[in-house]
Amino acid sequence: MRLNRIILAVVLGVLALGRAENVRAQGTVINIEREADINWMKLIPIALTGASGEGGAALKFDLEVMGCEIVSLSEAKYEVKVAQNGGLEGRLIHVASKQQMLGKRYAGEDPRRLAHAFADEVIQLLRGSKGIAQTRIAYKGEMRQGYSEIYVADYDGYNAVPLTADNSLVAAPAWVNARNAVFYTSYKLGTPKIFSHNLSTGERKIAAGYPGLNTSVALSPDGSKIAMVLSKNGSPDVYVSNADGSNLIQLTKTREDESSPCWSPDGNTICFVSRSSGRAALYTVPATGGATRRISTAGVSNATEPDWSPDGKTIVFTALMGDFNICTVPATGGSATVLTTGEDPSWAPNSRTVIFARRVGGRRVLSLLDVPTKRVKDIKHTAGSSSQPVWAR
């Protein structure tokens, strides 16, 4: 057995490729390299066989979004084999060694959900990180000029349902960490107020209803606090409170407009946008209050709409330079990278994928961006214009 394991490890090239993982396949333990450790920037070549219909299309979409390239078997490093008979039976095979790395059967009647579950397991095995195919998003959907609602959908845009029916203007949805509630701004009562909305019961409450502007709400990673922009004392400033609106603390005090707060993954710092230096730029401030610090975004200007990656390493944001552009910068600041045209970016839980809005004709659609490869794929679109997407994570 020991000799077989050594031979298989050589066949798979693990001994020359660094960190490896043991996988039990057909009674034999084999070593496979983690694709993320080999080359994060490259797509994983996968052959997809046996997949058809709605489930097959969902599986192909999932794998492509999460950093795979669907190729012929002769070009593939891995083969994903699927049988769809009263459920889904999926297998992952290493092409060179012909060893099965994963085999599982999923029961159920929804082909999309079965495909999402299998795709996540494939990515977990290959990348060593949790897949995103079973996650959800919220976004603003505008069906007619000046009227919008908050929608909740699967990450690929399917199964979209309106969360609100305000027949008014709504904006800036934000997920609670546990994914059972969404916060947003609504003008239903005439002036903009921040609401919390329980997805299970439908109950919603006013979390911030001060005079003036109440908007740009962002939940802390543990869901216990909210950051938001209020104009109760004049110009819009960043505030923090408990999730129910109590214990309000003002973090910034300027004459300039500030906007778009987001939290660091450890909950200690808030990144926001300020125009105190003239143009819009990114700043940070301790969540408990203190001095602000500007984040350098060298190479781009007019930085807005930041979102901090769950792994804490990177901030994605929108830069307005003749057009709206999706950019990234190290969380500590530095040279910015322009990824694609678009706005309203939000990180997926995997810190690799970003959802954003892009303009197509006279409307906006939502798209997914694989940050390392810059590949873009549109999600399923409903009527009207979609914007301000936010990922549940």
Whether residue 387 lies inside any domain: the answer is yes
Task: Write the CB contacts of 382 (distance below 8 Å, at least 6 apart in sequence).
Answer: 141, 151, 157, 160
Distance CA 164, CA 181 (A): 13
Task: Give the structural domain span for 54.
Answer: 38-127
291 and 220: one domain? yes
DSSP 228-293: EEE-TTSS-EEEEEETTS-S-EE----SS-EEEEEE-TTSSEEEEEE-TTSS-EEEEEETT----E
75 and 152: one domain? no
147's enclosing H/E stretch is: strand 147-154
**What are the two backbone dihedrals, phi and then psi, of residue 116, each rounded to the nearest 5 degrees?**
-60, -45
Distance CA 163, CA 240 (A): 25
The residue among 72, 98, 127 that closes a domain is 127
90 and 144: one domain? no
CATH number of residue 51's parent domain = 3.40.50.10070
Distance CA 67, CA 78 (A): 13
250 and 218: one domain? yes
Report the number of distinct structural domains present in the chain.
2
232 and 86: one domain? no
Report the 10 Å Cβ neighbour count for 31. Answer: 19
Whether residue 19 lies inside any domain: the answer is no
150 and 120: one domain? no
**What are the two backbone dihedrals, phi and then psi, of residue 380, each rounded to the nearest 5 degrees?**
-60, 135
Token pair of 172 as six digits: 């800036």
User: What's the predicted TM-score (pTM) here?
Assistant: 0.89
- Give the amino acid at 368: L
Distance CA 146, CA 153 (A): 22
368 and 238: one domain? yes
The residue among 99, 127, 155 that closes a domain is 127
Whether residue 261 lies inside any domain: the answer is yes
Whether residue 179 lies inside any domain: the answer is yes
The residue among 80, 95, 127 that closes a domain is 127
Whether residue 114 lies inside any domain: the answer is yes
Gyration radius of the chain's alpha carbons? 23
CATH number of residue 285's parent domain = 2.120.10.30
82 and 166: one domain? no
**What are the two backbone dihedrals, phi and then psi, of residue 8, each rounded to the nearest 5 degrees?**
-65, -35
Whether residue 172 lies inside any domain: the answer is yes
266 and 385: one domain? yes
181's enclosing H/E stretch is: strand 181-186
Residue 28's pLDDT is: 41
Task: Categorise residue 368: left if φ over 0, alpha if ψ from -120 to 50, beta otherwise.
Answer: beta
Beta strands 193-198 and 324-330 are unpaired
Whether residue 93 lies inside any domain: the answer is yes
197 and 114: one domain? no
pLDDT digit string (tens) for the chain, length 393 residues: 433 433 333 333 332 223 334 444 444 444 555 555 556 678 999 999 999 999 999 999 999 999 999 999 999 999 999 998 889 999 999 999 999 999 999 999 899 999 999 999 999 999 888 999 999 999 999 988 889 999 999 999 999 999 999 999 999 999 997 678 999 999 999 999 999 999 999 999 999 999 999 999 999 999 999 999 999 988 899 999 999 999 999 999 987 788 999 999 999 999 999 998 888 999 999 999 999 999 999 999 999 999 999 999 999 999 998 899 999 999 999 999 999 999 999 999 999 999 999 999 889 999 999 999 999 999 998 778 999 999 998
190 and 44: one domain? no
Whether residue 355 lies inside any domain: the answer is yes
Residue 143's pLDDT is: 82
213 and 118: one domain? no
